[in-house]
Structure 1
Amino acid sequence: MTTVTQTISGVPTKQLPRYEQAAESKHELDWADLVTLDLSKFDTPGGKQALASQLKDAVHNQVDRQFAIGKELFALPTEEKLKYRADLEHGNYNGYRPLGSGELFPGLRDNVEMYNVFKYLPALERMQPQVVNEHRQEIESFQRHIAEDVVQKLLVLIAIVLELPEDYLTKGHKYDDVSECHLRYMIYHARTPEENERYQNLYSRGHTDFGSLTLLFRQPIAALQILTADGSWKWVKPHAGSITVNIADVLQFWTAGYLKSSIHRVVAPPPDQSSLDRLGLLYFLRPAMDLSLKTVDSPLLKRLGLQGDEGGAGNIKAGDWVRARVKGNLDKAVVGGHKEKSVLGGVKVKYYDQTMMNNVQHLQREGRACYKRREYAKALEFFDSAIGRAPSVQLLDNRAACQDKLNDLPAALKDAKKAINLQKEDPTGYLRAGKILVKMERESVAVEIYSHGLKNVKHAGQGYEASDRSG
Structure 2
Amino acid sequence: MPSLTLPECGRYIPPPETKEDLEFADLTIIDLSKAHTPEGRAELYPQLRDALRTHGFVYAINHGYTQAQRDRIFDIAGVPFADVSPDEKKIYTADVEKVGYYAGYKARQFWKVDTDNQILDQIEHYAINMNVTKRPHPLALRPFLPELDAFASHNHFNILHPILRLIALSLGLPAETLVDKHDFDRTGETSVRFMKYYRRSKDEEEKSKNVWLKGHTDIGSITILWSQPIGGLQILAPDGRWKWVRHIDNSLVINTGDMMNFFTGGYYKPTIHRVVQPPEDQRNYDRLGVYYFAMPDNDCTAAALVLSASALMRILRPARRGGREGRRRMAGPDLKKGVEHNVEEEVVEGIVVKHYN
Residue 18 (structure 2) pairs with residue 53 (structure 1): no
C-alpha displacement at 1:192, in angstroms?
Answer: 3.3
**2:304 aligned residue (270, 290, 295):** 295
Residue 88 (structure 2) pairs with residue 85 (structure 1): no
Q: Deviations over 1:3-38 (max 9, x none)?
A: xxxxxx99x974123322221110010000111210
C-alpha displacement at 1:307, in angstroms?
Answer: 8.8
C-alpha displacement at 1:275, in angstroms?
Answer: 2.1
Equivalent position SS for 1:168: coil
User: What amino acid is aligned across from residue 109 of structure 1 in structure 2?
Assistant: L
C-alpha displacement at 1:126, in angstroms?
Answer: 1.6
Aligned position for 2:327 = 323
Percent of pairs identical after alignment? 35
Aligned position for 1:339 = 344
Residue 119 (structure 2) pairs with residue 116 (structure 1): no
Q: Deviations over 1:109-167 (max 9, x none)?
A: 11100000002277xx2221122211000000010011011111001000100000011
Return the alpha-carbon distance in structure 1 between the equivalents of residues 238 and 305 of structure 2. 25
Q: Deviations over 1:241-289 (max 9, x none)?
A: 2100010001111111110112100000111112210000000010001
Return the alpha-carbon distance in structure 1 between the equivalents of residues 315 and 213 of structure 2. 32
Give 5+ residue unaligned stretches, structure 1.
1-8, 354-471
Return the alpha-carbon distance in structure 1 between the equivalents of residues 40 and 312 of structure 2. 29
Equivalent position SS for 1:194: helix
* C-alpha contact 1:192 1:275 (8 A) present in aligned 2: no
**Residues 45 and 292 of structure 1: CA distance in aligned 2, closer, same or farther (over 3 Å):** closer
Return the alpha-carbon distance in structure 2 between the equivalents of residues 78 and 285 of structure 1. 29
Residue 113 (structure 2) pairs with residue 104 (structure 1): yes
C-alpha displacement at 1:327, in angstroms?
Answer: 1.2
Return the alpha-carbon distance in structure 2 between the equivalents of residues 73 and 81 of structure 1. 8
C-alpha displacement at 1:49, in angstroms?
Answer: 0.5
Residue 48 (structure 2) pairs with residue 26 (structure 1): no
Aligned position for 1:219 = 228
Return the alpha-carbon distance in structure 2 between the equivalents of residues 28 and 306 of structure 1. 46
C-alpha displacement at 1:41, in angstroms?
Answer: 1.4
Residue 248 (structure 2) pairs with residue 239 (structure 1): yes
Equivalent position SS for 2:110: coil
**Residues 121 and 290 of structure 1: CA distance in aligned 2, closer, same or farther (over 3 Å):** farther
Residue 258 (structure 2) pairs with residue 255 (structure 1): no
Return the alpha-carbon distance in structure 2 between the equivalents of residues 112 and 284 of structure 1. 17
Is the helix fraction higher in 1 or 2?
1
**Residues 197 and 141 of structure 1: CA distance in aligned 2, closer, same or farther (over 3 Å):** same
Give the TM-score normalised by the residue count of structure 1: 0.67
Aligned position for 2:279 = 270
* C-alpha contact 2:70 2:250 (8 A) present in aligned 1: no
* C-alpha contact 1:97 1:114 (8 A) present in aligned 2: yes
User: What amino acid is aligned across from residue 70 of structure 1 in structure 2?
Assistant: A
Q: State the 4+ residue runs in structure 1 displaced beyond 3 angstroms.
A: 54-57, 303-309, 331-338
Return the alpha-carbon distance in structure 1 between the equivalents of residues 13 and 197 of structure 2. 17
Give 5+ residue unaligned stretches, structure 2.
49-58
C-alpha displacement at 1:193, in angstroms?
Answer: 3.2
Is the strand fraction higher in 1 or 2?
2
Return the alpha-carbon distance in structure 1 between the equivalents of residues 9 and 311 of structure 2. 52
C-alpha displacement at 1:44, in angstroms?
Answer: 4.2
Q: Deviations over 1:23-70 (max 9, x none)?
A: 111001000011121011122461010011235742433222121112
RMSD: 2.6
1:445-456 mapped onto 2 (5 Å cutoff): none
Q: Deviations over 1:284-329 (max 9, x none)?
A: 010001211111035xx234999996xx8x4310110110100134
Return the alpha-carbon distance in structure 2 between the equivalents of residues 26 and 186 of structure 1. 24
Aligned position for 2:74 = 67
Return the alpha-carbon distance in structure 1 between the equivalents of residues 18 and 166 of structure 2. 33
Return the alpha-carbon distance in structure 2 between the equivalents of residues 15 and 305 of structure 1. 52
Return the alpha-carbon distance in structure 2 between the equivalents of residues 305 and 159 of structure 1. 11
Equivalent position SS for 2:274: strand
Equivalent position SS for 1:54: helix
**Residues 150 and 304 of structure 1: CA distance in aligned 2, closer, same or farther (over 3 Å):** closer
Return the alpha-carbon distance in structure 1 between the equivalents of residues 270 and 38 of structure 2. 31
Return the alpha-carbon distance in structure 2 between the equivalents of residues 94 and 57 of structure 1. 27
Aligned position for 1:349 = 353
* C-alpha contact 1:104 1:333 (8 A) present in aligned 2: no
Equivalent position SS for 2:195: strand
Return the alpha-carbon distance in structure 2 between the equivalents of residues 348 and 199 of structure 1. 24
* C-alpha contact 1:147 1:175 (8 A) present in aligned 2: yes
